[in-house]
Chain A
């Protein structure tokens, strides 16, 4: 039924009404702030005194060292690291980049890989993907980044299948055993909000530095969505298919192997896509623990401000990301097509045979023409210096320089710094009360209670000021992203053609490893706070734009038609029909923007911030596992607070409006 009313009755049957709770919370907060302003606030109410802060990091260190050394976990993990995992990584490294390890066959000529990529692309998605596959690898080789790219790929080809298998197994277990799912769910939500630095250090400590630690961190990082997609897919298998399996006399194992898993194929493959993309994103970031590859090179180039080369590496990473994403997505939607009976085997296996043929062909050819095997140092087409010059002279143009300089000055001096100082001036308890009232106002009682617990833990972690700075960066970036993203989304949603192309752009942008977003920020603003906010801003604007368009364009047509027939203007229709109905979906985008920001703000530590990320990055140099965990959990808890509040609002609202 299309009813136009979007005003919903408030439920006010509880003795302690919403408004009353909120008033009390806010009055308490402002009382504290005022007390501080007049200098009557005792210091222990302003910041929690050092003495009251429990030595969480030290306790954790003790626990970790007990598990690691006394319980001997380190031997187990080191065994895995030096045994099977290292063997796999060495093998892939030998094949792809020619590391001197068993089977001593590599490196595979780039031309052979490009040819196979083209055939695979053609098989899953036709000529366009074939061109994308071949093009990506040709570009990588031609620009002289083959070896780096293969260092990165050699970890992905090991980590992605392992993450897939582990995720699938855990997903099946979670689907099969309710208690396991209930146990896993909170762990997964923490894992998904934990900053990546927190994945890196334990990996280094337990699995030794280098590719093994990189692979372990990558696998851990990529597993959660695979688990969720597997469970989702298995739950969605149609009951009749299950019954058909049972009536065919399947045993439990046969049910799983022949009925459930194949019937959940689509969701499982979506999980595979996400695993691949997360692996790529994480492998690039393992540069921070010294993993060689594209990420390390990018880090080095950005560090020495070689923008041209950074740009080229960025393009390579983006191409790889887009290629992997498009190909795995095409595989998801590809349905099996039958061959007529009596089709000979070489036609049935045509594609594989062509791929094999080209592979062998190019491998042999590269023996004759070495350039097909490896593009040498002097042969590549990298234009790093030239691009540097172009970028620098472009930025030196007055029309560009003026605005960016002004923007930098304005944002820094007029917006960011005052805002930060204000946040830092608020007494800790008042800050917590403010966050709690926000969570309560948006999400209701449960998110409010969680906000109180989570932020109190943060306050007692001993890293309050840095947490506030992290939060300040996130809030500023998300606010700016909202100012830009939502109007853009609204405008784009007006025409179907525009929405389509902007959605495509957003989807593509979302596949880029987050690291990439630092490049334009550094290019435009140099190394400072504004660049940090800017990189987060563009990263966070993507989901905002995306969900605004999706939200507005999925408003049921009979409702907009009803508004049209009621004689509303475009403005009225937008404000009183489309927005209210699209808001729950837009909230999902807003939520994602916040989550992305928390993720990005940590990466931005590379530019030089004073927040938790910076401290986290410092822990990587040492063995302070406890501190690393405390810092990571702080980020995770703050992110979870917002996540719970906003998603609970979106869900409630959707239910009230009868959407979904």
Chain B
């Protein structure tokens, strides 16, 4: 089974923009910095990135504008041809795919949502959603049925015949989401899907998105420039800067142990207690004598605040959702996180 093999596996991926990137990359001395490459007349969109995305995982790629996050996701779907390295999707090197195979891959396995929606202005909601199905030649009735189903899923029932310009931004993005889900993709790319929306709508759409993900359990690569959004959604976060990945880890680890100064700057003003989970802070049991009721490892420290303050144990057993004790939490350390004292 694939269960353990990663869905997307990128190794030493480079994407350079410039006059003749391939030959430049070959002749380029190793460990050249972003600025040095720029001085040579090239832009390193993606710079030596190795990353894996596991099945059913939600990887959030976080970075400021120009950090290369959108370029990286476009390399995964081969909207951009990479300059160096390899990208495998389900064990297949996508750079070796023929035009036909690439189209087949996109028609059957990949869905993508865009920041400014990328809806076709001349098609109704239903026709937009059915577009990928139409492209792969599904017959009219099938695709209509499926499109109606997805439109309902994203909560746009009753607006099937509207044109994009007749909808609000949030509704337009729901159409974008529905379209990307119509073909039942295995891999779902979302490129800053909520950045163009108002803060209130954004929050609502995030909830909606989490609901969908819980139902569908797709493999997701989600791009954002909003660190809070990343923390809220991610299984793992990859923080990018100047085309390179600074750190790729769980939100707990990123907040507790930022790998670089750059990452640390992001985490500075974050209320860690709301991010860090008990299981993230817990240490292995290793023969500690544990007593009393265990706490839920999936809860954040903030959620456990009352227990932590009222409890008198030094060490608290941490259990997973099945009730099995998996680790041990030092109450003091947890209180430090809660109080913001390092």
Enumerate chain A interface residues (CB-CB to B < 8 A): 238, 240-241, 243-251, 254, 258-259, 262-263, 265, 335-341
A258 touches B77 (CB 8 A): no
Interface residues on B, range: 35 or more
Q: Report Cα–Cα, A259/B166, bound state, in Å.
A: 19
**A262 touching B120 by the CB < 8 A rule?**
yes
Please tell me which one of the listed residues B106, B121, B161 contacts residue A247 in the complex, with CB atoms under 8 A apart.
B106
Interface of chain B residues 198 through 218 with chain A (CB within 8 A): none
- Confirm or deny: B163 has a beta carbon within 8 angstroms of a beta carbon on chain A: yes
Which of B120, B124, B132, B176 meets A249, CB within 8 Å?
B132
Expressed in whole angstroms, the minimum distance between the Cβ of A443 and any Cβ of chain B is: 30
Query: B120, A240: Cβ atoms under 8 Å?
Result: no
- In the assembled complex, which residues on chain B have CB atoms less than 8 Å from the CB atom of A340? 161
For window 84-107 of chain B, which residues contact chain A by CB distance below 8 Å?
Answer: 103-104, 106-107
15 pairs, CB–CB < 8 Å, chain A vs chain B:
A244-B112, A244-B176, A247-B77, A248-B106, A248-B135, A248-B179, A258-B135, A262-B120, A262-B121, A262-B122, A265-B122, A338-B163, A341-B158, A341-B160, A341-B161
Whether B136 sits at the interface, judged by CB under 8 Å, is yes
CA A416 to CA B105, docked complex, whole Å: 74
Residues of the B chain whose Cβ atoms lie less than 8 Å from the Cβ of A339: 161
* A247 and B110 contact, CB distance less than 8 A: yes
Evaluate whether A247 and B112 lie within 8 angstroms (CB atoms) in the complex, with A254-B135, A338-B161, A338-B163 already known: yes
Inter-chain CA distance A474–B119, complex, in Å, is 50
- B46 CB to closest chain A CB (Å) equals 17
Which B residues are in CB contact (< 8 Å) with A263?
120-122
Contact among B120, B162, B165 with A244 in the assembled complex (CB-CB below 8 Å): B120
Known: A246-B79, A247-B79. A241 touches B161 (CB 8 A): no
Residue of chain B at shortest CB distance from A247 = B112
Q: Which chain A residue shows the least CB distance to B117?
A: A240
| A336–B107 touching, CB < 8 Å | no
- Output the nearest chain A residue to B161 by Cβ-Cβ distance: A338
Which B residues touch A265, using CB under 8 A? 121-122
Q: How far is B112's CA from A245's CA once the two chains are assembled, in angstroms? A: 10
Q: Is B45 an interface residue (CB 8 A)?
A: no
Complex: how many Å from CA A254 to CA B107? 13
User: Are B107 and A249 in touch, CB under 8 angstroms?
Assistant: yes
- Complex formed: what's the CA distance from A337 to B7 in Å? 42
Chain A CB within 8 A of B114 CB: yes
Known: A248-B135, A251-B103, A341-B161. A336 touches B115 (CB 8 A): no
Chain A positions within 8 Å of B166 at CB level: 338
B50 CB–A CB distance under 8 Å: no
Give the shortest distance, in Å, between A263 (CB) and chain B (any CB). Answer: 7
Contact (Cβ within 8 A) A238 B116? yes
Nearest opposing residue in chain A for B114, CB measure: A240
Give Cα A251 to B166, complex, Å: 29
List residues of B (156-200) whose CB comes within 8 Å of A's CBs.
Answer: 158, 160-163, 165-166, 176, 179-180, 189
Write out the residue numbers on chain A whose beta carbons fall within 8 Å of the beta carbon of B274.
Answer: none
The answer for the CA separation of A199 and B24 in the assembled complex, in Å, is: 51
> Which residue of A238, A258, A336 is within 8 Å of B131 (Cβ)?
A258
B111 touches A (CB below 8 Å): yes
Taken together as a complex, chains A and B put the C-alpha atoms of A244 and B120 apart, in Å, by: 9
Contact residues in A for B135 (Cβ distance below 8 Å): 248-251, 254, 258
Contact of B163 among A241, A243, A336 (CB under 8 A): A336
> In the complex, A247→B135 CA distance in Å?
10
Contacts of B146 in A (CB 8 A): none
Q: Given A247-B112, A258-B131, is A241 in contact with B79 using a C-beta cutoff of 8 Å?
A: no
Instruction: List the A side residues contacting B108 at CB < 8 Å.
Output: 249
Q: Verify B136–A249 contact, CB threshold 8 A.
A: yes
CA distance in complex: A406, B106 (Å)? 78
B74 at the interface (CB under 8 A from A): yes
Closest to B182 in A: A248
Is B118 interfacial (CB 8 A cutoff)? yes
How long is the Cα–Cα vector from A642 to B111 in the complex, in angstroms? 53
Most buried by B among A244, A245, A249, A263: A249
What residues of B have a CB within 8 angstroms of the CB of A238 in the complex?
Answer: 116, 118
Per CB-CB distance, the 5 closest pairs between chain A and chain B, nearest first, are: A249-B107, A244-B118, A240-B118, A248-B132, A338-B161
Tell me which residues across on chain A come within 8 A of B114, comparing CB atoms: 240, 243-244
Residues of A within 8 A of B111 (CB): 247
Q: Is the CB of B131 within 8 A of A248?
A: yes
- New contact pairs (14) apart from A240-B116, A248-B131, CB-CB < 8 Å: A240-B114, A240-B117, A243-B118, A244-B112, A244-B179, A245-B120, A247-B112, A248-B132, A248-B135, A259-B120, A263-B120, A265-B122, A335-B163, A336-B122
